């Protein structure tokens, strides 16, 4: 050690304590002695060539990388960066993709690394990603900014990212990897409380009103639209403002293409609006998944409704550039179809939920089960907070649904399977720092948080697609679970008032859509009318095109068939089972005619054939009905056998 600390030729002004500090640091490493010797020799060779370290740092990045490689002195230079003797620049550190500079800094700042690693594990990350973010990325930022973990802030990350984008020594792929690590490190810093604001998701795009209206070609019209939307943003939701921006942009671009001479709103007239109405009705969709197809009626309605409100409001407010007369009327709005809720059938509902129970993704499995068991909208589910479950003494467990689409808050009772889904998710949910609520901005603990971020609808949709495919029922939209939930309650006899409260509807008309699916009044009126209609006037599909089918065709037809002593009955499956079928043979007052012994025997054979046929088709109720008839006819034949041992001849 004494020989190594002797003055180095060519290094006259290098502090002896700096070299001594590095040599002491090398002795603490856990590597073998040859590796330690290489580190010492590399430091000495480097110092022989570059006695002025600050001057060396001013050399080009490629030259410095070549210098440390030639002297094998990167461990020594990394140590100088880690202790703050030299300020590492982004271009140099990023250009050295692999090396000991990250591990050197981590060893000297192990307390910061341990805190970051603990936060990464709390977020549920894997060991490899934790090492890349909580060791490599943390060392990268701190080395290039000569700071520690607690000194990091949003400005530090932004400046480091900007310098990384400008770096000439980094490949495109490596730059993308480093940027991803830096975004994840910001999330770690937020979890630790180092950053006050949660970093935005990389897929999130925050656009101002000016950005959203940037495509409006007419400057004066764009200013009026911007002013109007600023005023509306005080009362309307951001999503509504964004929809209106899209409608205004669409109208302005059409106006520029078809009427380039119009630059102000007061130059508009009814003829121009009528041309736009015609074009809007036949325009192609601009949606990512529907490009090339005609725009839907709902989108047509939304565009015209936004423009109608715009013109009416600025006229009511007395704006100087308002149109001279009303341009859009109620009759211009396309009539929206009154669609019946798309509820799943009982069989599809059963098969889907059975497939959901087999999903490997716990989050998707629990979320879909809760959607089906509560009738929540997807947004309401994702806005649930911890503590939303309320146990009312004597009335079971209820779910407090937050303010959602219609600005209403409600409570929903929970059954056992749904409550079990809540319990399962609470056991797998990782603790996370409270996140700002999108409505109030207050920090709250959301229930559906994964890796420190709120879960999105994509995970639910993917899980539902997998389950629907496995169940063999095609595509299922998450909102269909709400329709299925409401329809099952309506079919079960729940009142309109109760159904309206449990769904969070604000008008009875919204709830009546589900009641129409299971209206007992309509069904009773239909059955009464059918009973009064002469059979000859009814059009009922039969097994063949002939009025009198032969015996073989009748037995093999896909009908609800009944064997009568005097003929056949073929009832369409849509009409369901006949309540009068074979009522006489099963009546206690029925007395068989000894002269009809052969007819009863033939009828019994046909009934048994029909029973077997119904079993093969899976018609359980029909098979049971035929079995009851067969039992009754068999009993009658036994009675005749006792009374007349040998059937009389006619």
Q: Is the pLDDT of residue 314 over 50?
A: yes
User: And the tokens for 235?
Assistant: 């009362």
Mean pLDDT highest for which of 194-203, 450-459, 620-629? 450-459
At how many degrees (to 10) do helices 238-258 and 219-232 cross? 160
The Cβ of residue 168 has, within 10 Å, a number of other Cβ atoms equal to 9
Q: Is the pLDDT of residue 6 over 50?
A: no
Q: What is the pLDDT averaged over residues 548-570?
A: 66
For 383-438, what is each residue's pLDDT tens digit?
Answer: 888 888 888 777 788 888 887 666 677 888 898 999 999 999 998 888 888 887 77
The sign one gets for the Cα dihedral 471, 474, 476, 480 is negative
Q: What is the pLDDT averaged over residues 128-135?
A: 92
For 494-506, what is each residue's pLDDT tens digit?
Answer: 887 888 888 888 7
Question: So what's the pLDDT on residue 540?
Answer: 43
Q: Per DSSP, what are the bridge partners of residue 389?
A: 399
Going by C-alpha positions, the residue among 69, 149, 157, 70 that lies closest to residue 115 is: 149
User: And the tokens for 83?
Assistant: 């202790």
Distance from C-alpha of 189 to C-alpha of 198, rounded to nearest angstrom: 9
Burial class (CB in 10 A: 0-12, 13-18, 19+), 512: middle
User: And the tokens for 137?
Assistant: 């990325």
Q: Per DSSP, what are the bridge partners of residue 399?
A: 389, 412
Beta strands in 252-395 (DSSP E): 389-392
Q: DSSP 3-state assignment of 133?
A: helix
Give the model's confidence band at 247: pLDDT under 50 very low, under 70 low, under 90 confident, else very high.
very high
Distance from C-alpha of 156 to C-alpha of 42, rounded to nearest angstrom: 33
Give the model's confidence band at 4: pLDDT under 50 very low, under 70 low, under 90 confident, else very high.
very low
User: And the tokens for 69?
Assistant: 């490689």
Distance from C-alpha of 181 to C-alpha of 130, rounded to nearest angstrom: 10
Distance from C-alpha of 507 to C-alpha of 503, rounded to nearest angstrom: 11
Question: So what's the pLDDT on residue 279?
Answer: 93
The Cβ of residue 260 has, within 10 Å, a number of other Cβ atoms equal to 10
Q: Is the pLDDT of residue 83 over 90?
A: no
Q: Residue 545 CA to chain centroid, in angstroms?
A: 51
Output 590 or 462, whichever has higher pLDDT. Answer: 462
- Look over the chain and give the mean of its residue pLDDT values, rounded to a whole number: 81
Distance from C-alpha of 451 to C-alpha of 191, rounded to nearest angstrom: 10
Give the model's confidence band at 558: pLDDT under 50 very low, under 70 low, under 90 confident, else very high.
low
377 neighbors 479 (Cβ within 8 angstroms)? yes
For 143-187, what is each residue's pLDDT tens digit?
Answer: 888 888 999 999 999 999 898 888 887 888 888 888 999 999 999
Question: So what's the pLDDT on residue 465?
Answer: 93
* DSSP string over 405-454: TTS--EEEE--HHHHHHHHHHHHHPPP---EE-TTT--EE-BSSEETTEE
Question: So what's the pLDDT on residue 355?
Answer: 93
Going by C-alpha positions, the residue among 449, 436, 484 that lies closest to residue 464 is: 484
Question: So what's the pLDDT on residue 22?
Answer: 82
Give the model's confidence band at 64: pLDDT under 50 very low, under 70 low, under 90 confident, else very high.
confident
Contacts of 606 (CB under 8 A, 6+ apart): 555, 563
Question: So what's the pLDDT on residue 364?
Answer: 93
484 neighbors 464 (Cβ within 8 angstroms)? no
Q: Is the pLDDT of residue 142 over 70?
A: yes
Going by C-alpha positions, the residue among 259, 236, 258 that lies closest to residue 305 is: 236
Angle 130-134-137 from CA coordinates, rounded to 5°: 115
If you count them, how many residues does the chain have?
650
User: And the tokens for 177?
Assistant: 């990897």
Q: Per DSSP, what are the bridge partners of residue 391?
A: 397
Q: Is the pLDDT of residue 480 over 80?
A: yes
Beta strands in 143-268 (DSSP E): none
* DSSP string over 29-68: --S-HHHHHHHHHHHHHHHHH-S-HHHHHTS-HHHHHHHH
Question: So what's the pLDDT on residue 5?
Answer: 32
For 498-556, what is each residue's pLDDT tens digit?
Answer: 888 888 887 777 777 766 555 555 566 666 766 766 554 444 444 444 444 566 666 66
Q: What is the pLDDT averaged over residues 76-104?
A: 81
CA distances from 2 to 7, 23, 44, 406, 418 (A): 10, 11, 14, 80, 75
> Which uninterrupted H or E stretch holds 250?
helix 238-258
- Does the model's pTM come out above 0.75? no
Contacts of 354 (CB under 8 A, 6+ apart): 471
The Cβ of residue 29 has, within 10 Å, a number of other Cβ atoms equal to 14
Task: Give the percent of the chain with pLDDT over 70.
Answer: 84
Q: Per DSSP, what are the bridge partners of residue 284?
A: 294
CA distances from 112 to 86, 106, 314, 423 (A): 20, 8, 57, 35
Q: Is the pLDDT of residue 209 over 60?
A: yes
Task: Report all structural domains of the chain as residue ranges with CATH numbers, in order of start.
Answer: 16-192 (no CATH), 209-332 (no CATH), 346-517 (1.10.443.10), 551-643 (no CATH)
**Residue bearing tokens 């990212």:** 161
Going by C-alpha positions, the residue among 300, 190, 173 that lies closest to residue 247 is: 300
Going by C-alpha positions, the residue among 329, 435, 448 that lies closest to residue 388 is: 448
**What does residue 499 show for φ and ψ, rounded to 5 degrees?**
-65, -35
Question: So what's the pLDDT on residue 543?
Answer: 43
> Which uninterrupted H or E stretch holds 515?
helix 508-517
Q: What is the pLDDT averaged over residues 358-380?
A: 92
Distance from C-alpha of 178 to C-alpha of 362, rounded to nearest angstrom: 31
Question: So what's the pLDDT on residue 13?
Answer: 42
């Amino acid at each position: 050690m004494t020989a190594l600390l002797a003055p180095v030729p060519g290094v006259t002004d290098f502090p002896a304590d700096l070299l001594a500090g590095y040599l002491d640091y090398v002795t603490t490493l856990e590597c073998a002695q040859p590796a330690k010797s290489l580190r010492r020799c590399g430091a000495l060779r480097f110092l022989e060539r570059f006695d002025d370290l600050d001057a060396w740092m001013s050399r080009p990045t490629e030259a410095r990388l070549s210098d440390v490689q030639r002297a094998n002195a990167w461990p020594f230079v990394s140590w100088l960066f880690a202790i703050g003797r030299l300020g590492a620049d982004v271009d140099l550190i990023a250009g050295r993709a692999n090396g000991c500079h990250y591990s050197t800094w981590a060893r000297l700042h192990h307390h910061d690394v341990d805190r970051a690693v603990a936060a990464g594990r709390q977020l549920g990350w894997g060991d490899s990603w934790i090492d890349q973010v909580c060791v490599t990325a943390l060392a990268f930022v701190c080395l290039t900014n000569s700071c520690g973990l607690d000194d990091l802030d949003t400005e530090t990350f932004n400046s480091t990212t900007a310098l990384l984008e400008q770096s000439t020594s980094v490949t495109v792929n490596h730059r993308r990897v480093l940027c991803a690590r830096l975004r994840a490190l910001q999330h770690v810093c937020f979890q630790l409380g180092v950053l006050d604001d949660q970093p935005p998701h990389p897929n999130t795009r925050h656009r101002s009103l000016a950005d959203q209206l940037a495509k409006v070609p007419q400057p004066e019209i764009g200013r009026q639209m911007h002013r109007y939307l600023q005023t509306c943003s005080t009362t309307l939701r951001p999503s509504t403002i964004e929809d209106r921006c899209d409608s205004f942009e669409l109208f302005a671009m059409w106006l520029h293409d078809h009427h380039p001479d119009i630059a102000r709103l007061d130059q508009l007239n009814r003829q121009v609006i009528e041309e736009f109405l015609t074009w809007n009705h036949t325009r192609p969709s601009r949606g990512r998944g529907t490009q090339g197809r005609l725009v839907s009626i709902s989108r047509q309605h939304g565009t015209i409704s936004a423009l109608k409100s715009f013109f009416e409001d600025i006229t009511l407010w007395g704006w100087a550039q308002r149109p001279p007369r009303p341009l859009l009327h109620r009759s211009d709005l396309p009539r929206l179809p009154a669609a019946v809720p798309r509820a799943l059938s009982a069989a599809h509902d059963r098969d889907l939920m059975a497939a959901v129970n087999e999903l490997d993704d716990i989050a998707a499995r629990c979320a879909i089960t809760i959607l089906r068991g509560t009738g929540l909208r997807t947004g309401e589910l994702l806005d649930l907070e911890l503590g939303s479950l309320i146990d009312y003494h004597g009335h079971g467990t209820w779910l407090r649904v937050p303010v959602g689409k219609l600005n209403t808050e409600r409570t929903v009772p929970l059954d056992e399977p749904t409550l079990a889904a809540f319990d399962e998710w609470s056991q797998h949910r990782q603790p996370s720092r409270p996140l700002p609520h999108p409505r109030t901005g207050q920090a709250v603990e959301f229930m559906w948080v994964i890796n420190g971020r709120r879960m999105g609808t994509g995970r639910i949709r993917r899980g539902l697609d997998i389950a629907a495919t496995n169940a063999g029922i095609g595509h299922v939209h998450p909102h269909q679970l709400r329709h299925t939930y409401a329809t099952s309650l309506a079919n079960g006899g729940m009142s309109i008032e109760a159904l309206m409260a449990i769904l969070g509807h604000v008008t009875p008309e919204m709830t009546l859509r589900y009641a129409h699916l299971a209206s007992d009044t309509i069904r009773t009126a239909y059955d009464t009318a059918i009973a009064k209609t002469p059979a000859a006037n009814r059009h009922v599909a039969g097994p063949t095109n002939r009025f009198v089918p032969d015996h073989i065709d009748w037995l093999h037809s896909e009908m609800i068939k009944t064997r009568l002593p005097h003929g056949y009955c073929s009832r369409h499956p849509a009409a369901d089972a006949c309540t009068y079928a074979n009522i006489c043979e099963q009546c206690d007052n029925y007395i068989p005619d000894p002269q009809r012994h052969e007819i009863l025997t033939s009828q019994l054979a046909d009934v048994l054939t029909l029973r077997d046929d119904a079993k093969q088709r899976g018609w359980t109720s029909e098979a049971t009905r035929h079995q009851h008839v067969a039992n009754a006819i068999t009993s009658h034949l036994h009675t005749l056998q006792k009374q007349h041992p040998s059937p009389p001849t006619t």
